[in-house]
Structure 1
Amino acid sequence: MWLIMMLRNNLARKRRVLLDGPYGYANLGDNAIAYCMSSFLTKAGIDVTISCLNPDYIEKSIGLPTLPILDFKTLSTSVLKAIGEFDAIIVGGGQQLQEHPVPNPFFGMFSRVCHMARVAKALNVPFIAWSVGMDWPLSPLARLMARHYLGSDNVTLILRDGKSYDHACSMLAGKSCRILHSKDAVFMLANFLSDDVTRSTELNFTRNKRLIVSPSIIKPQQGLRKMVELCEEAAQLGYEVKGWHSEIRPGYDLKVREMVDWGTIPGFEWLPPNPIDTNEVASLLSSASLLLTTRMHPAIIAVAQGVPAYGIATNLKMRSVFDELSMPYTNTEDLEALNFHDIVESQFEKSFSMAQQFSANAELGGEQVLKAAFVDA
């Protein structure tokens, strides 16, 4: 916190930062990242503009000025021309070092990040990737672009998981960029929630039993049928069961509503899937006495508020997240053997403790960002 106080007291003028990421496109986890990062920066006295997929939604939900994200497919490149107007460029959160399925120099998140870094390098503007994940392996083209554009001394890469950190260190060995490690910024969420949400969370365990299930597509489809069975067991034990999606882009999680029959769960209903702001997401999840999810950010938001969360790990990424958080979970291949009693009897306390530790670590990551942008620059 000393760095935040120093910046507030010593800056001759207010600094401007561009926060860039795939926000505002019906992925409420990504939007929570934008909310937490922009809140941290604003608290430090920084003027924040957000470059995003849906400027109107982000302006309404977060209340900050926006620019359209870089997209060569639609020839949306105005953000590149604006980079020189900012004191630092921050690519924030998510698996943004993820290559397009067909390796190329223009399309996909990885290429977008490299082009933002390319212009920042040319203008000598500090470029920080904050709490991002990296896919691996990357194509030779992507590795070449990374070494050329992300290896410069104006670049700081702060990776959100150990594997991404190790891969970045290996790929950029010998380059002059800084490579650091910090937890997902969403762990800081409790620091920025409105008082109404905080009070709601404190009352969580006095409420009736409520299970919120947040499913994504599971292969084979039998996994979804098993989730329905678990919800049926919960209803038989007196739980109010509600469904909710954090990812509502067309072709994603909403498809699960048609893949299996959720109507067999007594009293079940889907909560409205329309985009809501991060305070509303936190309030919704804090209304649960238990969350059953296949998604990372609903789990983080729930556990950060002291709501027990049980995970269904659909891939290695989810296993890694749940393991790091010490959160109880089951792999999809083991799902058939699971029953709701096992879930309820799981040990959730350690995940709450880890969430508090990760919150402190995420805040240190924010201070690393400020240092890279305004002290080391």
Structure 2
Amino acid sequence: MRVGIVGWFGSDNLGDEILLHSLITCVRAVKENASFVVFCPNPERVAELHGVQTENMPVLRARGASERQVAVQRSIKSCDLLLLGPGTVFQERSPNLSWPGTLPMFARIIAMAKIAGTPVATVGVGVREGGTPFGRQLLRVIGAACVGVGVRDERTASHFGSSAEVIGDMAYTLPLPELERVDSGRRFALSMRPLAPELEGPLLTATSGCAARLVQEGWSGTFLPMAFGRGAHGEDDRVIYDRAFRDLLALDQTPLDGSQPLAGALRTWLQALATNQLVLGTRLHAALLAVAIGVPTVAIAYERKVLDAFVDLGLSEYVVPPDVDADTLYRKATQAAAATEEFREAAARVAAQGRVAQGFVTTLLKRLG
């Protein structure tokens, strides 16, 4: 079986690469000899990380757009199934996108698949908040054209209608290594991403204040860089580290540094993450993977998707808004660190939701042969 995957991969955002790795792993669990072609903004980087065939996204305004369209159409026709997602692929606008965002492109991709006779499904997708009536109607049309609609959360499901199935985040299916709990003292990790100036300034004050207080009390801390902004403006977490945390926290290694193949590097990264007794995170997948391995975590909901995920996992007590102050964040951090049993239970819920997502992929692939 040949499977096409369309998403925002290759910009050195660890969360996105984990999603792609997880989906490929899920497909191969059912179809061991499956081959892939991934349509993405940075195909060379995706090929390097994942060892799969890649194509550029079929955007209309790039140099060589007509040649891209022909290549994409040919590749879609070669596929037995085209998967949209995972991740927040449906966006009408964002800091890097003007309206109408990605929706027309995805509608065009579905039209190309229809012409090619290739069935289309969504897997673990999210819809960015702030949509318009036009966008909501187009999402209904996209959903109706799919043979399966697997979405990340209830809010996204409401955009697609009754055919949508909430399967959770595809990162929940990531195979976790055997983790040894090592008594390494009080350790915490912090994930912080660049944000709009009106959000970033106060949040940096809060996170650095909380981190400084933990360090003063004898905790040791690391900074988790989750994205490096390859081809994406304002996405390099190291800018935040240099601006506010260089003198306070050590900089963690990343699975994207090329020192190991991605799968092995992820195992090493997760093993290091498991040595923490606390994680504070704006990046969604820093927070979710910490929860998946049972590490007490406080998520900072800079976007609705972060709040949705923690509410769905029964962890609404441990998610805070981006205008949180340092004292409140510290109080939530110490509350979470003491709630180890709650987070063990949450890790079990993550594993259960991962089985739901794997089941969706399995059913879809078996139905299509």
**TM class by shorter-chain length?**
0.7 to 0.9
- In structure 1, the partner of 2:215 is 235
CA–CA separation in structure 1 for the residues paired with 2:362 and 2:118: 14
Q: 1:44 aligns with which of 19, 30, 49?
A: 30
How big is the shift at 1:150? 3.8
Tell me, which stretches of 5 or more residues in structure 1 are unaligned?
A: 1-14
Query: Is 1:318 aligned to 2:311, yes or no?
Result: no
Q: 1:202 aligns with which of 146, 171, 180?
A: 180
Give SS of 2:58's match: coil
CA–CA separation in structure 2 for the residues paired with 1:83 and 1:302: 36
Using structure 2 for the length normalisation, give the TM-score.
Answer: 0.82
- In structure 2, the partner of 1:159 is 151
Give SS of 2:210's match: helix
Letter of the aligned partner of 1:120 in structure 2? A
CA–CA separation in structure 1 for the residues paired with 2:29 and 2:359: 12
How big is the shift at 1:37? 0.5
Identity in percent: 19
Query: Is 1:356 aligned to 2:311, yes or no?
Result: no
Give SS of 2:359's match: helix
Do the aligned partners of 1:27 and 1:247 also contact (CA within 8 Å) in 2?
yes
Query: Is 1:344 aligned to 2:340, yes or no?
Result: no
- In structure 2, the partner of 1:3 is none
- In structure 2, the partner of 1:61 is 49
- In structure 1, the partner of 2:89 is 96
Do the aligned partners of 1:117 and 1:150 also contact (CA within 8 Å) in 2?
no
- In structure 1, the partner of 2:111 is 118
Using structure 1 for the length normalisation, give the TM-score.
Answer: 0.81
Do the aligned partners of 1:126 and 1:372 also contact (CA within 8 Å) in 2?
no
Q: 2:3 aligns with which of 1, 17, 22?
A: 17
> What is the CA deviation profile of residues 181-228 of structure 1, one whole-angstrom value per residue up to 9, with x for unaligned ones?
111010111x2x4xxxx24x323x422322211112351512212211
Matched ranges for 1:73-112 at <5 A: 73-74=61-62, 75=65, 76-77=68-69, 78-100=71-93, 101-104=97-100, 108-112=101-105
CA–CA separation in structure 2 for the residues paired with 1:292 and 1:24: 25
Do the aligned partners of 2:26 and 2:361 also contact (CA within 8 Å) in 1?
no
> What is the CA deviation profile of residues 47-94 of structure 1, one whole-angstrom value per residue up to 9, with x for unaligned ones?
333222333332332233322333323223322321111110011211
> What is the CA deviation profile of residues 144-177 of structure 1, one whole-angstrom value per residue up to 9, with x for unaligned ones?
544444423x5321111101112221xxx7xxxx
CA–CA separation in structure 1 for the residues paired with 2:131 and 2:205: 35
CA–CA separation in structure 2 for the residues paired with 1:82 and 1:263: 45
Q: 1:211 aligns with which of 182, 185, 188?
A: 188
Give SS of 1:96's match: strand
Give SS of 2:38's match: strand
Query: Is 1:295 aligned to 2:278, yes or no?
Result: no
CA–CA separation in structure 1 for the residues paired with 2:205 and 2:81: 48
Do the aligned partners of 1:303 and 1:309 also contact (CA within 8 Å) in 2?
yes
Do the aligned partners of 1:99 and 1:111 also contact (CA within 8 Å) in 2?
no
Give SS of 1:333's match: coil
Letter of the aligned partner of 1:43 in structure 2? A
> What is the CA deviation profile of residues 272-302 of structure 1, one whole-angstrom value per residue up to 9, with x for unaligned ones?
5683433454244234332111111111111
- Shift in alpha-carbon separation, 1:362–1:271, aligned structure 2, 3 A: closer
Tell me, which stretches of 5 or more residues in structure 2 are unaligned?
A: none
CA–CA separation in structure 2 for the residues paired with 1:40 and 1:128: 15
The more displaced of 330-339 and 320-329 is 330-339
Query: Is 1:181 aligned to 2:181, yes or no?
Result: no
Give SS of 1:207's match: coil
Do the aligned partners of 2:9 and 2:16 also contact (CA within 8 Å) in 1?
yes
How big is the shift at 1:140? 4.7
- In structure 1, the partner of 2:122 is 129
CA–CA separation in structure 2 for the residues paired with 1:124 and 1:371: 20
CA–CA separation in structure 2 for the residues paired with 1:147 and 1:311: 31
Q: 1:221 aligns with which of 201, 226, 232?
A: 201
CA–CA separation in structure 1 for the residues paired with 2:58 and 2:271: 32
Give SS of 1:206's match: coil
CA–CA separation in structure 2 for the residues paired with 1:60 and 1:97: 25
